Structures are given as structure tokens and as C-alpha cells.
Amino acid sequence: MKKILFINFGVPKEESARTKLQAAIMSQMSVFVPGTGLKGLDWKIWLSNQQANTGGGVYLFDDQASVDAYLNSPLLAGMKANPLVSNLEIKVFDILVEPTKASLGPVF
């Protein structure tokens, strides 16, 4: 069963620190291209709310095992250890199949 992973985190207010965090993210961008880095990743949507100083992502994974592999990966450990990232929030969701199909959700 496909899984949605939601990650949200605080980002620095200072522009120089934001730029440094974005550079760190961009240096690992190839990992998030489906079929190249993260096993079972179908897609990722990157999120930003500059007014609230938050960022994050919504991921679609093939199954719980793929989510677990990412959650236990050095990549996520590096994010957790990054001093520019605060208030990390991680949630995993099941997909309600019939309502999502009815609303043409792009997950099947």
C-alpha cells in the first residue's frame, strides 16, 4: 500500500542561513529523483512558507518498508543533525483509496 510521508521543519530567519540551508538541500537533490536514490520513492513535493519560517516536503512512497528505510537513512539523520533545521515534524499517512481516486489524486 502506498504511503504519504510529511516532513515539516523550521528554517532560519536570516537570509544568509537560509541560503546555506538551501545549498545543503540542493547538494543532495539527485537523491530525490525517483528511481535514482531513495528506494520506493515515487515523487516528492518541496514546501516553503517564508512568512512562517518553515519548509518541508510531501513524499509518495511505494510502501511502509520504503518509508522506514528513508526514516532510518543517513540522509534523514543528517537533516536531524543540521543546526539550521529546527522543530522537525515527521508524519506517515495511509491513503484513503476511493476518495483519492474520485478526486483524481495523483497517487495511483
> What CATH number is given for 3-102 in this structure?
3.30.70.100
| 71-101 pLDDT, tens digit each | 999 999 999 999 999 999 999 999 999 999 9
Name the pTM for this structure.
0.89
| 42-58 pLDDT, tens digit each | 999 999 999 999 999 99
- CA 13, distance to chain mean position in Å, is 21
Q: Report the first-to-last Cα separation within the chain, whole angstroms.
A: 10
Angle at 97 between CA 92 and CA 1, to 5 degrees: 55
